[in-house]
């Protein structure tokens, strides 16, 4: 199954001058592509675990780099390389988890 | 088979699964998701082990060692367990049993990097993201 068949929702996340860090908060089920080029997954913060929820973070090539098969709250620092971008998948039976993902790209461009 | 022995698929080979060919990303460190039991060599030179983000404890124990196994797939446990041992196989992290959490280390290693997740039930491994950076790594 190629990434084209994942049903990805593209989100564009800006960075501000002074820091390359970008932050996006996700709170509904779906597969969100938050970056489309090489990135560094800095941290994943689960603020609410939702109900029967599951989340995974993939790099832009579809390789899983952060799994959470049963969501629970917490802050996970990674600083992990993500080739080709970042994809966050949230899945739950009823209430989606509330997740904040922090990441960096090489410059301030929104691509 | 005791909880500390290697599983048969590893004993038939070199005693570990070699993951050293993973390319260095342009930003951030190398990352690999641990989702099975076994012994895995992540690096064969020096570097920095950054973190273990463990989101599922599973069963068994988790050892992260500064070094690579010997030809028989084992480490010199008689030496490792002595105080002030800094040679091949020095322990960087030990969780017995595995504990969920964000275990941030930024620990330097000299001889290589091996992850050993054994014990407990074979079908209930932990799940964790492991991040490390080889020393003077070049992006290909």
Burial of B91 (0-12, 13-18, 19+ CB in 10 A): middle
Domain membership of residue B2 (yes or no) is no
Which residues have CB under 8 Å from A18's CB, separation 6+? none
Give the pTM. Answer: 0.93
| Nearest Cα to Cα of residue B51 among A54, A42, A98, A48 | A42
B37 close contact with A: CB closer than 8 A? no
Q: What ipTM is given for this predicted complex? A: 0.93
Instruction: Give the residue numbers spanning the domain of B21.
Output: 8-134
Domain membership of residue B97 (yes or no) is yes
Reply yes or no: is the peptide bond before residue B116 cis, omega within 30 of 0.
no
- Tens-digit pLDDT string for chain B (140 aa): 444 556 655 656 678 899 999 999 999 999 999 999 999 999 999 999 999 999 999 999 999 999 999 988 899 999 998 989 999 999 999 999 999 999 999 999 999 999 999 999 888 999 999 999 999 877 76
CA B129 to chain A, closest CA, distance in angstroms equals 6
Domain membership of residue B1 (yes or no) is no
Domain membership of residue B105 (yes or no) is yes
Minimum CA–CA partner of A82 in chain B: B25
Residue B109 belongs to what H/E stretch?
strand B101-109
| Bridge partner residues of B109 (DSSP) | B47
Give chain A's mean pLDDT: 95
Confidence category of residue A93, pLDDT binned at 50, 70, 90: very high
CA A5 to chain B, closest CA, distance in angstroms equals 23
CATH of the domain at B93: 2.60.120
A42, A69, A83: residue with CB nearest B127: A69
Domain membership of residue B3 (yes or no) is no
What's the number of domains chain B is made of? 1
Q: Which of A36, A67, A86, A104 to mutate to test the interface with B (most CBs of B within 10 A)?
A: A67
CA A93 to chain B, closest CA, distance in angstroms equals 19
**Do A80 and B28 lie within an 8 Å CB cutoff?**
yes
**Do A72 and B30 lie within an 8 Å CB cutoff?**
no
**Do A75 and B51 lie within an 8 Å CB cutoff?**
no
| Nearest Cα to Cα of residue A99 among A111, A107, A91 | A91
CA B11 to centroid of chain Cα atoms: 17
B53 close contact with A: CB closer than 8 A? yes
**Do A67 and B102 lie within an 8 Å CB cutoff?**
no
What is the sign, positive or negative, of the torsion defined by CA atoms of B24, B25, B27, B29? Answer: negative
Domain membership of residue B54 (yes or no) is yes
């Amino acid at each position: 199954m190629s990434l084209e068949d994942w049903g990805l929702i593209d989100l564009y996340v800006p960075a501000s001058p002074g820091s390359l860090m970008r932050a996006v908060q996700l709170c509904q089920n779906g597969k969100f592509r938050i970056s489309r080029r090489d990135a560094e997954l800095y941290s994943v913060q689960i603020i609410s675990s939702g109900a029967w929820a599951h989340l995974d973070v993939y790099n832009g090539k579809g390789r899983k780099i952060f799994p959470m098969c049963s969501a629970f709250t917490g802050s996970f620092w990674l600083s992990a390389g993500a080739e080709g971008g970042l994809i966050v998948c949230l899945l739950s039976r009823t209430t989606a988890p509330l997740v904040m993902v922090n990441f960096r790209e090489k410059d301030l461009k929104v691509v | 088979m005791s909880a500390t022995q290697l599983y048969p698929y590893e004993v038939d080979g070199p005693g570990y699964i070699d993951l050293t060919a993973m390319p260095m990303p342009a930003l951030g460190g190398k990352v690999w998701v641990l989702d099975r039991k076994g012994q895995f060599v992540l690096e064969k030179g020096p570097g920095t082990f950054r973190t273990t983000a463990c989101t599922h404890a599973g069963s068994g124990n988790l050892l992260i060692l500064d070094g690579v196994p010997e030809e028989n797939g084992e480490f010199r446990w008689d030496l490792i367990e002595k105080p002030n041992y800094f040679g091949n196989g020095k322990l960087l992290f030990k969780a017995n049993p595995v504990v969920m959490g964000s275990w941030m280390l930024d620990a330097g290693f000299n001889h290589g990097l091996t992850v050993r997740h054994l014990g407990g039930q074979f079908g209930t491994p932990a799940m964790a993201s492991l991040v490390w950076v080889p020393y003077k790594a070049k992006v290909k």
